[in-house]
Structure 1
């Protein structure tokens, strides 16, 4: 069953097509990776999917409903959570409050919201730092905090934009394990430059190049594709 379907999406900036006739079909429970060289249109595409950017054309359906004209806020309420490429935490608020802000938008019961906050922080390994100001965390831990902010909303779809950027090797391994655990309950759309992460966690990969879908397939098929290698891989597990 498809959770997110995009048909013919496009986005134009001052005459430049940043996203050009892109279609996606992401089944429920899948971990989908979105990869491509810098400037391929990845972040613009997820901006369209999440409602943070209006599209210039095309249609988006989420959980069986046409959401093309809906705001990002309404898509969040439907079960879509998005973490940014650049951290969007509130540095002067405690870690707990950063996560609680999102949970309270979704859950009216304070008890239920607190339960979700605790579970999310535990999942990313930050529960013991819940009372610290978010700005005192390392950059890698701030990235994990942002993931917790998304998880606390109990999303049907979690969109992660470069989540392993700035993480140490041990943190990357913990992230890979986390994605493996999420499979049972959450569909994940992952923008990622680290091809080792993509190979380990993704069920299916969409490759963008110059705003268009260049290739789709399993991680192994993507790795073996001459078209993908010519576009940007340049060798086994090379960084995009």
Structure 2
């Protein structure tokens, strides 16, 4: 079963097509990586999928339902969660309270909420800072907090926009382990510049360039493709 099917997506800004006839299909429990040079249209595409931007044309189906015109909060209720390229947390609240706000969408009572929060924080290795104000976390830990907020909603699809940005080397290694854990029951769409991460976690990689799909295939396929190397990787061969 395909969790997400997007067909012929177009987003136009004053004559510029930031997303130009993009078709994307993501099967259940797949880790799909979306890569491309700056300005390729990745974040705009995520905006269309999440509902934060309206499509100029095209259709988006999520779990078999047309959600093209469904607002973001209803997509979240249906099982779609996402993190932003720029962190979006409540800095004056504690780490626990941040995740609890997200978890309460599904939890029936505070006891359930506490259990879900504890599990989400444990999975992203932030349990030890549960009572710390979010503003006092490092930028990398704020990124992990956002992921915990997404996980607390038990999503069918988790969209992560530049999740390793700001993470230390050890934190990136933990993030890779986390993705392998998440994929057991959640489909992941990962927008990522760190090619080492992409090569280690992705089943399929979709490459955008100038708002269009340039190439799609396995990490090994991407490694070997000359067009991708020229457009995105600067002609350099990427090691897995």
TM-score interval, normalised by the smaller of the two chains: over 0.9
Shift of 1:150: 0.5
The 5 A counterparts of 1:78-93 are 78-93=78-93
Alignment of 1:65 with 2:54, yes or no, is no
Instruction: Tell me the equivalent position of 1:124.
Output: 124
Instruction: Tell me the equivalent position of 1:218.
Output: 218
Q: Would you say how many aligned residue pairs link Structure 1 and Structure 2? A: 238
2:230 and 2:47 mapped to 1: Cα distance?
Answer: 27
The 5 A counterparts of 1:2-151 are 2-151=2-151
Segments ≥4 residues shifted beyond 6 Å: none
TM-score, normalised by the number of residues in structure 1: 0.97
- SS of the residue aligned with 2:104? helix
2:131 and 2:71 mapped to 1: Cα distance?
Answer: 32
Unaligned runs of 5+ in 2: none
Q: RMSD between aligned alpha carbons?
A: 0.9
Instruction: Tell me the equivalent position of 1:236.
Output: 237
1:95-143 superposed Cα distances (whole Å, 9 cap, x missing partner):
0011111111222332222221111100011111111100001111111
2:85 and 2:106 mapped to 1: Cα distance?
Answer: 23
TM-score, normalised by the number of residues in structure 2: 0.97
Identify which range, 227-236 or 168-177, moves more after superposition.
227-236
Identify which range, 2-11 or 110-119, moves more after superposition.
110-119
2:51 and 2:113 mapped to 1: Cα distance?
Answer: 24
- SS of the residue aligned with 1:106? coil
Tell me, yes or no, if the aligned pair for 1:116 and 1:154 is still in contact at 8 Å.
no
1:38 and 1:159 mapped to 2: Cα distance?
Answer: 18
1:157-195 superposed Cα distances (whole Å, 9 cap, x missing partner):
000000000100000000000000111110000000000
Unaligned runs of 5+ in 1: none
1:25 and 1:86 mapped to 2: Cα distance?
Answer: 26
Alignment of 1:194 with 2:231, yes or no, is no
Instruction: Tell me the equivalent position of 1:208.
Output: 208
- SS of the residue aligned with 1:37? coil
2:112 and 2:198 mapped to 1: Cα distance?
Answer: 33
